[in-house]
Structure 1
Amino acid sequence: MNWKILLFSLLLLPVLLGLGCWQLMRAQEKEQWLQAYQAMQSKAPQRYDSLQAPPRYARVTLSGAYSPQGDWLLDNQIREGRFGYRVFTPFCLDGDDACVMVERGWIQGDLDRSVLPQIPAVPGRLILQGRADTLSDSYSMGPNEASTAAPYRVQTLKLEEVRERMSGQLASWVLRLDPDQPGALTPVWEPVVMGPEKHYGYAVQWFAMALALVALTFWKWRRGDSEDKNLEEAGETDIGTTGHG
């Protein structure tokens, strides 16, 4: 048997098994997230006026007003084949200098990068309802652009950068606004982008590839043994024929 093939199989097999196990872990994580999300949806919204983060996916209401200090546009957000942005606006709580970043939804962009969308303002005191969440890192197409005026277009939304451009305190969590709320735009947020069933499907594929690799290696091993045995028998036959001659 070709020992290079055996060595290649021994090196590749742990990689395939590891990828399959990783997909199983991701599927279990997604299931836990969905269970937590569904559990929170069955509870009534609670009024919240603290900078400390509530439980993830908790339904909360906030009283206050959208900050005039400007909107933030998360770049490169594609919806139904159309280019756009996800809009975030600070929402300042009543009787405090504390604000919470509110994800309002998606708005279509212009292919001319110099033209930014006009985001509808919602003045006055409001009561907002939505889901509490953490701000996860998004895939970045490049460094954040320097901007001196709102709306601020960014490749990755970072709360630290928002704090530098506004007065007052900013909470470490965000509110995913419900679709029927004041200031809501086109909803695009989902608790998970890829469901656990897809991760299970990918895991099956990786494990199937690992099984195929083992089967192919074993077949090659047996074939190599048979070829070696045939060569030995052919050699013995040649020697016996030569001796007779």
Structure 2
Amino acid sequence: MQYPYVLLHKRMVLLLILTVTLFVILVKLGFWQLARGDEKSQLFEQMQARQAAPALTFSQALDKSQFEDLTAYRLRVKASPVSQQIWLLDNQVYQGQVGYLGFQLMQLDADQPYLMVELGFIAAPHDRRQLPHIDPIVNEVELIGRLYQRQINPLSHKLLAEDGDTVRFQNLNLTEIETAISHPLLAAVLQPDSLPHLSLPHPWQPFPISAQKHWGYAVQWFAMATVFAGLMGWQGVKLLTRNRREAKD
């Protein structure tokens, strides 16, 4: 009669270890998402303060880029196009449309780094072999807008640029763009408030996931932990009841 109790004991121990292990993992994931949400909330407040501050000069932006991310700082420059070549960032989505984000390289002086300027979003043609046309900046222009640096995705960060009059590329990797053009580049992109010859939309998404989404994910992880603990507890009670019944029989 002792054997069922030994078997029951082993089953209960294994069930308890599994429950505690997975419960701890789920709870830790919830707290991690809470921390990420708090971090994003602080960064959002920092960005608001940056956007309220006076616009930087190009020299000030270069200095700051040596020791901090430039996202949300405002910049005012007079710049001329390096060329009329358009760079198209692939696989962008804006208001449900799939398309490209257009860019153009600009320069202030020949001995200074170039500045990548966002021209805006344009929908993709139905035929992927065709690239949309964006009118480039052709003369010196005064630009004012906000800077941003995209977070690097470790799983997909290569430039993967295609040769051509218009360059289609897959990831906004400014370091690899520097290598491709053989010239230094400011470590941020300028999203101008407006352009004199274009009225394309300029999506603003400094973070892939907002603080609110992180907090929402945290609630989901905590809910999963609660439901899992309840299910495992119910299974434990069923197992204990069944083995007691078998022992009586």
Output aligned runs, 1:119-158, within 5 Å.
119-137=134-152, 140=156, 144-147=160-163, 149-158=164-173
State how far apart, in whole Å, the 1-side matches of 2:220 and 2:113 are: 49
Question: 1:45: how far off?
Answer: 1.8
User: Hey, what does 1:188 align to over in structure 2?
Assistant: 203
State how far apart, in whole Å, the 2-side matches of 1:202 and 1:135 are: 22
Deviates more, 1:161-170 or 1:53-62: 161-170
Task: Note closer, same or farther for the CA distance 1:224–1:167 as it changes in structure 2 (3 Å cut).
Answer: closer
Q: Does 1:51 align with 2:66?
A: no
Aligned-partner residue type, residue 19 of structure 1: L
Aligned-partner residue type, residue 51 of structure 1: L
One of 41, 45, 51 as aligned partner of 1:35? 45
Question: 1:140: how far off?
Answer: 4.5
- Contact 2:159–2:177, Cα closer than 8 Å, also in 1: no
Q: Does 1:19 align with 2:29?
A: yes
State how far apart, in whole Å, the 1-side matches of 2:57 and 2:158 are: 38
Q: Which structure would you say has the larger Rg?
A: 1
SS at match of 2:62: coil
- Contact 2:15–2:236, Cα closer than 8 Å, also in 1: no
Q: Does 1:216 align with 2:216?
A: no
Q: Does 1:117 align with 2:110?
A: no
- Contact 1:83–1:110, Cα closer than 8 Å, also in 2: no
Task: Note closer, same or farther for the CA distance 1:64–1:96 as it changes in structure 2 (3 Å cut).
Answer: farther
State how far apart, in whole Å, the 2-side matches of 1:142 and 1:110 are: 24
Structure 1: runs of 5 or more not aligned: 236-245
Aligned-partner residue type, residue 48 of structure 1: F
Question: 1:34: how far off?
Answer: 0.9
State how far apart, in whole Å, the 2-side matches of 1:17 and 1:141 are: 31
Question: 1:110: how far off?
Answer: 1.1
The number of aligned residues is 232
- Contact 1:63–1:94, Cα closer than 8 Å, also in 2: no
Task: Note closer, same or farther for the CA distance 1:131–1:230 as it changes in structure 2 (3 Å cut).
Answer: same
Off by >6 Å, runs of 4+ in structure 1:
none
Structure 2: runs of 5 or more not aligned: 1-7
Aligned-partner residue type, residue 75 of structure 1: D
Aligned-partner residue type, residue 8 of structure 1: L
Question: 1:63: how far off?
Answer: 1.4
Aligned-partner residue type, residue 191 of structure 2: R
C-alpha RMSD over aligned residues:
2.7
Question: 1:96: how far off?
Answer: 4.0
Question: 1:107: how far off?
Answer: 1.1
**Percent of aligned positions that are identical:** 31
TM-score by length of 2: 0.80
Q: Does 1:83 align with 2:98?
A: yes
